[in-house]
Structures are given as structure tokens and as C-alpha cells.
């Protein structure tokens, strides 16, 4: 069955992904989304082709390589830590393949930790310039209202949530910046599981969320 997705990533994010300039956590978000979204996957492929055309242009600003650069690069590829990357092509109804591979298994392999009100999270290991986490929000539960110091992208993997901006179901991504202050609420019909990535801490108003923020690392 074709995945119906109505909230996509921006062209700026997709271009940065194709150019390889995003933080690791954001790369994980884009890879996960485009594995479900034909529209964004086609855009990434177009930007990849555009980048290839740029590389094929006549030389004008060539970068000089030191002797032995090719041999050194090939040696790094041959000696890479292939044994450390164990991927499985098993289908998981919740985690798309890129996220499944990153976690090292399906949703049953996720190590959840409670953050209160029935909400659970699992922080994923990424580079230090941005964070990635899986969120489990019981059906009908409202998250604390909050703003953003930077960019937050939230992709629905199961269920749905709604906020002041719109309604987001599986595959949809909400891209939030410092202009958005919202209170996401999980749809009442099913527990909501999301992938969320941020490049700066969230901005909470209430005292209890601010205290919990220190321990939940959000």
C-alpha cells in the first residue's frame, strides 16, 4: 500500500543532505523519511544528479591531491570497520529500514527510558552537533508546551499527533524553528512513536518541564 505523506522536508534540508553538510542526526531523519516518501526521495536524487553535473564541469578551481591520496583512500575503504555495522533486511512495521539499521533491530530492540506521564524515550548515539531520539507517547497524551532554540524535526513512525499547526501521521515530518511554540497531542486512537532530532535544546515555560529537561537531555 502506498504511503500517503502530506508533510515533507524542505528543499533546503534535502539539498544539504545531498551535499553531505547535515549533522549525523539530521542525516538519519532524512534517510528515514525518504525511505517512505517518493516525493522527497525523487528530490534527493535530483539534487544528487545536479551535484554530479557540477563535479563534471570543466576544471577551474581544481583541488590538488598529494601523492598517494588515492591509495590511502582505498586502503581506508578496504580496512573500514565493516564488522561493526550489522544490518538486517527484516521488515519492521514501525521502524523504516534506515532507522532499523541504525538501532540495530526492530522496535522491540529499542531500550526505552521513562520521562514521566507514560512518555518514554530512547536517545540514539549520534555526533555532538545534534541529537536524535525515539519518543513513545501514549494515545491522547499531551506533551508539555514548548518552543525551540534551534531546529527540531519530528517524524511520525506510528500513530499520529496534532498541534496548533496541523495533523501529522506516519511518514509526516514537522519542521519546527524558533517561531513555533506548540503543544503536541498524540492521537487518541493509537500510541504515537516518533523520531525527533534537534540541534539545540527545547524552550519550556513550566517549572516542572524545565527541571525534567535536565535529566531527559531535551
Burial class (CB in 10 A: 0-12, 13-18, 19+), 173: buried
Domains defined along the chain, listed by start: 105-216 (2.60.120.10)
Q: Is the pLDDT at 205 greater than 50, yes or no?
A: yes
Instruction: Write down the pLDDT at residue 83.
Output: 44
Instruction: Write down the pLDDT at residue 135.
Output: 94
pLDDT (average), residues 49-54:
65
- For the chain, percent of residues with pLDDT exceeding 70: 67
User: Over the stretch 117-129, which tens digit does the pLDDT of each residue have?
Assistant: 898 999 999 988 8
- 3-state helix vs strand vs coil in the chain, percent to 5: 35, 25, 45
Beta strands in the chain (DSSP E): 113-116, 119-124, 131-137, 146-148, 152-158, 160-162, 167-169, 173-176, 185-186, 192-198, 202-204
Instruction: Write down the pLDDT at residue 207.
Output: 44
pLDDT (average), residues 122-151:
85
Instruction: Write down the pLDDT at residue 6.
Output: 94
Query: Does the model's pTM come out above 0.95?
Result: no
Instruction: Write down the pLDDT at residue 216.
Output: 53
Q: Is the pLDDT at 57 greater than 90, yes or no?
A: no
pLDDT (average), residues 162-180:
85
Instruction: Write down the pLDDT at residue 82.
Output: 42
pLDDT (average), residues 91-117:
92
- Grid coordinates standing for 45? 536524487
- Grid coordinates standing for 83? 564488522
Task: Categorize the per-residue pLDDT at 54 as very low, low, confident or very high, splitting at 50, 70 and 90.
Answer: low
pLDDT (average), residues 80-102:
71
pLDDT (average), residues 188-204:
84
Q: Which has the minimum average pLDDT: 73-82, 105-114, 184-193?
A: 73-82
- Whether the CB-CB separation of 41 and 5 falls below 8 Å is answered with no
How many angstroms separate the CA atoms of 121 and 124, rounded?
10
Amino acid at each position: 500500500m502506498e504511503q500517503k505523506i502530506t508533510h515533507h522536508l524542505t528543499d533546503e534540508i534535502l539539498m544539504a543532505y545531498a551535499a553531505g553538510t547535515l549533522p549525523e542526526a539530521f542525516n538519519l531523519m532524512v534517510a528515514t523519511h525518504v525511505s517512505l516518501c517518493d516525493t522527497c526521495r525523487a528530490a534527493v536524487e535530483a539534487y544528487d544528479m545536479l551535484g554530479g553535473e557540477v563535479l563534471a564541469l570543466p576544471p577551474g578551481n581544481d583541488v590538488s591531491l598529494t601523492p598517494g591520496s588515492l591509495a590511502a583512500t582505498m586502503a581506508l575503504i578496504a580496512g573500514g570497520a565493516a564488522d561493526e555495522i550489522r544490518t538486517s533486511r527484516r521488515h519492521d512495521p514501525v521502524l523504516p529500514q534506515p532507522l532499523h539499521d541504525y538501532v540495530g533491530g526492530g522496535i522491540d530492540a529499542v531500550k526505552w527510558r521513562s520521562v514521566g506521564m507514560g512518555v518514554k524515550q530512547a536517545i540514539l548515539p549520534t555526533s555532538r552537533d545534534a541529537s536524535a531520539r525515539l519518543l513513545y507517547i501514549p494515545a491522547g497524551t499531551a506533551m508539555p508546551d514548548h518552543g525551540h532554540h534551534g531546529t527540531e524535526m519530528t517524524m511520525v513512525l506510528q500513530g499520529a499527533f496534532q498541534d496548533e499547526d496541523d495533523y501529522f501521521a506516519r511518514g509526516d515530518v514537522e519542521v519546527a524553528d524558533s517561531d513555533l511554540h506548540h503543544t503536541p497531542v498524540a492521537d487518541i486512537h493509537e500510541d504515537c512513536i516518533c523520531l525527533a532530532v534537534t540541534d539545540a535544546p527545547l524552550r519550556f515555560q513550566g517549572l516542572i518541564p524545565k527541571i525534567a529537561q535536565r535529566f531527559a537531555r531535551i
